[in-house]
Amino acid sequence: MSRSPGRKQENHKISRELFVLTYGALVAQLCKDYEKDEDVNACLDKMGYSIGIRLIDDFLARSAVKKCRSYSETADMIAQVAFKMYLGVTPSVSCNSATGNEFSLILDKNPLVDFVEELPAERASLCYCNLLCGVIRGALEMVHLAAEVSFLQDRLKGDAVTEIGITFLRKPEDRKHRRN
């Protein structure tokens, strides 16, 4: 029996849709469990962080990327390789500071919100995709890059795009290890 050539892509789409629906159910359950949006946001970030510290091994094994030499290379790697590999989208990257340690990942399409029309009015401060911030922060920490990651804009809140801000917390020269 032969396989049809479109079978793998069909399975990938089904898996992605299942993931997106499951994620939506998770956020809905957290909203039932916690009264405050800040608590839901913190829980999503914590879950994402746990995923990120485990996901980095898979990413490094599957992507065979080389060591990044700058924060700019790291931001590009997150956008062009990691997001493409795990979410099937490639955000654009922009540098937001003269020091070169602040970047934005701008998503024209966020697959995690494929089945979400809008946030309920009583959940205005909910950061629905905060799991992504935790994943990025956790993965970066595992390669010894401390960073703050947060949503700067969100289409679910009426913004034109979805924008994730990444601020690397150390200067590049602080990362170098000295041998005695």
Residue 179: the pLDDT is 45
DSSP assigned state of 135: H
Residue 83: the pLDDT is 94
Residue 39: the pLDDT is 98
What residues form DSSP beta bridges with 153? 163
Please name which of 11, 45, 21 lies closest in space to residue 112, comparing C-alpha atoms. Answer: 21
Domain for residue 174, yes or no? Answer: no
Reading the chain (180 residues) residue by residue, the pLDDT tens digits are 455 555 555 555 568 788 899 999 999 999 999 999 999 999 999 999 999 999 999 999 999 898 999 999 999 999 999 999 999 899 999 998 888 999 999 999 898 998 898 888 899 999 999 999 999 999 999 999 999 999 999 999 989 999 999 999 976 554 455 444
Residue 129: the pLDDT is 96
In this structure, which long-range contacts are made by residues 66-71, counting pairs with CB atoms below 8 Å and at least 24 apart in sequence? Answer: 70/100, 70/172, 71/100, 71/101, 71/103, 71/168, 71/172
Residue 180: the pLDDT is 44
Query: What is the span of the domain harbouring residue 59?
Result: 35-116+125-166
What size, in residues, is the chain? 180
Count structural domains, the chain.
1
Residues 6+ away with beta carbon under 8 Å from 141: 49, 52, 53, 147
Domain for residue 101, yes or no? Answer: yes
CA–CA gap between residue 90 and residue 92 (Å, rounded): 7
CATH number (domain holding residue 99): 3.30.1380.20
Residue 17: the pLDDT is 86
DSSP assigned state of 126: -
